[in-house]
Amino acid sequence: MSTMRMLLVALVLACLIVPSVSFADSDEASMFAQAKNHYKDNSYYFASTWLERLLKKFPNTPQREEVLAMLAKCYAATSRDDKAVKTVKALLKDFPKAAEKLEPGLLKLAQDQSQQPPQLVEPEPVAAPPAVKPDPEKAAADKAAEEKATAEKAAAEKAAAEKAAAEKAAAEKAAAEKAATEKAATEKAATEKAATEKAAAEKAAAEKVATEKAAAEKAAADKAAAEQAAAEKAAAEQAAAEKAAAEKAAAEKAAADKAIADKLAADRVAAQRVAAEEAAAGKESADRTAAPKASAARPATIEEAVAERTATIKAAVEKAASEKAAADKAAAEKAAADDAAAKKAAAEQAAADKAAAKKAAAEKAAADKAAAKKAAAEKAAADKAAAKKAAEEKAAAKKAAAEKAAADKAAAKKAAEEKAAADKAAAKKAAEEKAAARKAAAEKAAADKAAARKAAAEKAAADKAAAKKAAEEKAAAKKAAAEKAAADKAAAKKAAAEKAAADKAAAKEPAAKAAVKSDDGTANDEAPGAAPAVAAQPQPQVPASAASAGGYTLDFGTFVLKSEMSQIKKKIKNAGMKPVVTPGPKRKEQMSRIHVGEFPDQQSAEKVLQKLRKAKAENFILQDKSGKFNVYAGSYFDKVGAVDEQLRLAGFGITTELRPIVVQVPTFSLTAGSFKSEEDATRKGAELEKLGVKPAVVQRSK
């Protein structure tokens, strides 16, 4: 509550101290719209204020041509012809083609610089002359209208301030909501980006782990395969070495066996030979010892003994050869068996090695496949988990975004509804105030119109009474002149008759008879002509002939400002007539003059004038009878306009006071039409009265 009170106090102080809302800063479009509204309502002073403000703030506005044209018309309509001339010149200088669109009056005003605005006559420092008696009713009505206008202006300023505050609050609220929305969107984008980056990092880490694991498993499998191949190679080499060793051992054994067999065969042969030799020696010795005994059994010859011994040696040799062949065969068979066994062992080893290598390759392939499958499964699982996580995060983000969007939409809708409600309330209030202002203006206009009608009616009645009186006096004078002429004529006739009688008496009888006859004929001749002569007297026709000579016209009154006649002139033109504006008599008018200060010398007064020029205000100096210099900031017929200017100057730190003055100003008389009879003029006046204008029928001057 305290904040609201402070705001209200600040608002009231602002309304009292700073310039009114009509001078508040605004954007170009709204300022131009305000000026145009006042311009359309014929509020030329307020329109000129807005237009001046617009040109000062936006000198290069795209609507400069239209603004200058409107401003020139506003100046001309409010009798500020000097400013109107300057504005028209500036317009034609910047936009030469604008002359085609300007009103002829403005062009003429710019071309004829001798036509200056009405000079205000410095009044005596006394009150209005006693002869001028202000109408109490009009003064009260003017005062009430002024108070009402001030109240309406204050209400309008207050409404405008409230509307501006509401719009500012709505704008700040919208800006805050927009900032919050943008912040939330930024945070959401950052969160989504962080989540995406995190998911990507996790996925990359999982893929890296899977790749490293697959690489490690492959390396392990390759190492195992290499170790197995090395083991198999070592085993093959060992088998080959063992086979070579076995073969070598078999060869050595075979060689040894053969050597042994050869040695045994040699030993056997040697033994057989020794045995044979011993046998031979023993036999010889036995033969020698037992010669007699053996003589019986000794061969008959030496050849038989040699043959026998040869057979024995041959048998021993054959036996040794057979034994050797058997030994060789056995050795060969053993070597073949060993070779076959070695070959079989080598084949079996090769088959075993091949089977082991095939098994190892199959196991490695199976291990690689299993590792790849496992890595693929793990990667698929990681990808699936990452995708699921990303989908969940995306769904969560989407949900959050949807919730936030819904909240933002609801907030925006609420703000829009609140703004619409505030705008509607402000518009309703402004419309009510405008309607009240219009009603007050209509009431004032009706009162002014009624007063004007009453005054016009009174004036018309007075003029009519005066005209009637003048006509009656003129008719009476004409009647008296006619009566006098008739009397003179009768007297002359009587004198002529008397003279004729005297002449008759003096004449002779024949002459008298002739004279009598002639006199009778003259009387007879003049009798028919006398009546027409009397009928030709202009007694009843003199006013009509006089009216036809001067005629009648419709008088719409006198005006101080030409702008006051614009609506009436339009209605006159709509009625098919041509309005005629002629200079009227000067009259005294009440004005409000803005007094800035009194100075002992002109130099001091000029310093204050510089301040007024900077504030774009009207400025002039008047020296009073005491020799002091008084600085003024303009003179106004409209006191409200003077108060507005005071408030505006207060914003520049210039303190002023209003001084009422009475000045003589020229007027303009507005008439229309030329009628032969008063009835025709009255009939046309009745037609115009239906259009909202009530003229007075007056005689035209010859």
In the chain, the amino acid numbered 518 is S
Mean pLDDT score of the chain: 76
How far is 274 from 270, CA to CA, in rounded Å? Answer: 6
pLDDT computed for residue 456 by the predictor: 59
- The enclosing H or E element of 675 equals strand 657-675
Q: What are the tokens at 113?
A: 């610089």
Strands (E), 267-372: none
Q: Looking at residues 439-468, what average pLDDT do you find?
A: 66
Contacts of 155 (CB under 8 A, 6+ apart): 433
Choosing from 499, 528, 545, the residue where a domain stops is 545
- pLDDT tier, 467 (very low <50, low <70, confident <90, very high otherwise): low
pLDDT computed for residue 580 by the predictor: 93
Task: Let me know whether 624 and 524 are in one domain.
Answer: no
Q: What are the tokens at 364?
A: 């490695």
- pLDDT tier, 505 (very low <50, low <70, confident <90, very high otherwise): low
Considering the domain boundaries, does residue 337 fall inside one? Answer: yes
- CATH code of the domain in which 77 resides: 1.25.40.10
User: Of 53-62, 69-78, 180-189, 469-478, where does mean pLDDT reach its minimum?
Assistant: 469-478
Choosing from 503, 522, 545, the residue where a domain stops is 545
How far is 44 from 71, CA to CA, in rounded Å? Answer: 8
Considering the domain boundaries, does residue 364 fall inside one? Answer: yes
pLDDT tens for 607-661 read 999 999 999 999 999 999 999 999 999 988 888 889 999 999 998 999 999 999 9
Report CA dihedral (437, 440, 444, 449) to the nearest 10 degrees.
Answer: 90
Considering the domain boundaries, does residue 293 fall inside one? Answer: yes
pLDDT computed for residue 612 by the predictor: 94
pLDDT computed for residue 54 by the predictor: 92
* Helix, strand, coil percentages, rounded to 5, for the chain: 75, 10, 15
pLDDT tens for 115-136 read 444 444 444 343 333 344 445 6
- pLDDT tier, 560 (very low <50, low <70, confident <90, very high otherwise): confident
Q: What are the tokens at 143?
A: 């005062």
Considering the domain boundaries, does residue 173 fall inside one? Answer: no
Considering the domain boundaries, does residue 435 fall inside one? Answer: no
Percent pLDDT > 90 in the chain is 20
pLDDT tens for 256-287 read 778 777 777 777 776 677 667 766 766 666 66
pLDDT computed for residue 14 by the predictor: 59
Contacts of 63 (CB under 8 A, 6+ apart): 32
The pLDDT of residue 460 is above 70:
no
Contacts of 349 (CB under 8 A, 6+ apart): 235, 236, 239, 243
Task: Let me know whether 296 and 227 are in one domain.
Answer: yes
Strands (E), 209-354: none
Choosing from 93, 117, 141, the residue where a domain stops is 117
Number of other residues whose CB lies within 10 A of the CB of residue 654: 19
Task: Let me know whether 606 and 689 are in one domain.
Answer: yes
Domain that holds residue 490: 473-545
- pLDDT tier, 161 (very low <50, low <70, confident <90, very high otherwise): confident
Considering the domain boundaries, does residue 9 fall inside one? Answer: no
- CATH code of the domain in which 620 resides: 3.30.70.1070
Q: Do the Cβ atoms of 94 and 112 come closer than 8 Å?
A: no
How far is 323 from 264, CA to CA, in rounded Å? Answer: 10
pLDDT computed for residue 620 by the predictor: 93
117 backbone dihedrals φ, ψ, rounded to 5°: -65, 155
Q: Is 35 exposed, middle or buried (0-12, 13-18, 19+ CB in 10 A)?
A: buried
- The enclosing H or E element of 143 equals helix 136-289
Task: Let me know whether 87 and 21 are in one domain.
Answer: yes
Task: Let me know whether 497 and 597 are in one domain.
Answer: no
The pLDDT of residue 511 is above 90:
no
Task: Let me know whether 509 and 560 are in one domain.
Answer: no
Task: Let me know whether 541 and 561 are in one domain.
Answer: no
Q: Around 196, how many Cα atoms within 13 Å sit in the side-chain half-sphere?
A: 9
In sequence order, the β-bridge partners of residue 658 are 594
Number of other residues whose CB lies within 10 A of the CB of residue 592: 21
pLDDT tens for 388-401 read 888 888 888 788 77
Burial track 253-274 (b if 16+ CB lie within 10 A, e otherwise)? bbeebbeebeebbeebbeebee
Task: Let me know whether 649 and 524 are in one domain.
Answer: no
How far is 35 from 55, CA to CA, in rounded Å? Answer: 12
How far is 684 from 695, CA to CA, in rounded Å? Answer: 9
How many domains would you assign to the chain? 4
Q: Do the Cβ atoms of 672 and 577 come closer than 8 Å?
A: yes
Q: Do the Cβ atoms of 48 and 78 come closer than 8 Å?
A: yes
Task: Let me know whether 606 and 565 are in one domain.
Answer: yes
Q: Looking at residues 12-22, what average pLDDT do you find?
A: 49
Considering the domain boundaries, does residue 540 fall inside one? Answer: yes
Considering the domain boundaries, does residue 240 fall inside one? Answer: yes
Task: Let me know whether 563 and 684 are in one domain.
Answer: yes
Give the per-residue SS3 of 507-573: CCHHHHHHHHHHHHHHHHHHHHHHHHHHHCCCCCCHHHHHHHHHCEEEEEEEECCHHHHHHHHHHHH
Task: Let me know whether 590 and 685 are in one domain.
Answer: yes
Helices (H) and strands (E) in the chain, counts: 15, 6
Task: Let me know whether 562 and 635 are in one domain.
Answer: yes
